[in-house]
Structure 1
């Protein structure tokens, strides 16, 4: 199943329940590299903004019942 930026209905592979996922933003290596480049270029406030917004972070879908990772959406 392809996951998108919004919560979706699916069956949890860990507990087998029919669920609607909950989504969390997670910083990735890409986020850290972009932040480092922005700091090197002298734009530290923009680097910090990467961690406050969802623009450079992945979205991870979790089961609300057992908290298992169900899937990831990469922008």
Structure 2
């Protein structure tokens, strides 16, 4: 079989590009392909140096300093206070405690009273003042008795 004429501007044949020194696409058994050199990771800047940030066009450049050695930042998570006593650390006296609850007439209480009065159930309109589920919940520290949170039924 004759080979077709080749154009000098044409790319090389597939077998010629993937074949190794033996003419096969895979290395011979026992031979390993050399790996390309790996880039070495850059070390972090030492403490006290500014960390570089990538700036984009139109964006202000912000440079932050690393905290000094030995500085510890403690961030407390915001705890959602609900209808039941909650175990927490008091922000005032730093004691681990279970909150004490108190109930206060709030917007929901007055709204229910108004609706009951308008629909002519005025003999029952004072009931929401006696039901804790209609009132706002206030959480107090059981150690120092200061208010640590509040849950409004209707905000």
Using the size of structure 1 for normalisation, the TM-score is 0.81
| Ranges of 4+ aligned residues in structure 1 off by more than 2 Å | none
Aligned partners of 2:123, 2:88: CA distance in 1, in Å?
Answer: 38
Structure-to-structure mapping, 1:41-60, within 5 angstroms = 41-60=119-138
Q: Give the equivalent residue in structure 1 for 2:33.
A: none
1:61 aligns with 2:106: no
User: How far off is 1:57 after superposition?
Assistant: 1.0
Q: Give the equivalent residue in structure 2 for 1:6.
A: 84
The count of aligned residue pairs is: 75
Q: Give the equivalent residue in structure 2 for 1:40.
A: 118
| Root-mean-square deviation (Å) | 1.6
Comparing both structures, which one devotes a greater share of its residues to helix?
1
Using the size of structure 2 for normalisation, the TM-score is 0.43
- Unmatched tracts of structure 2, length 5 or more: 1-78
Aligned partners of 1:67, 1:47: CA distance in 2, in Å?
Answer: 33
Please point out which of 2, 5, 18 is paired with 2:96: 18
Larger relative contact order, structure 1 or 2 (CA cutoff 8 Å, min sep 6): 1
| Greater Rg by CA | 2
- Unmatched tracts of structure 1, length 5 or more: none
What secondary structure sits across from 1:71 in the alignment? strand
User: How far off is 1:63 after superposition?
Assistant: 0.7
Tell me which moved more, 2-11 or 35-44. Answer: 35-44
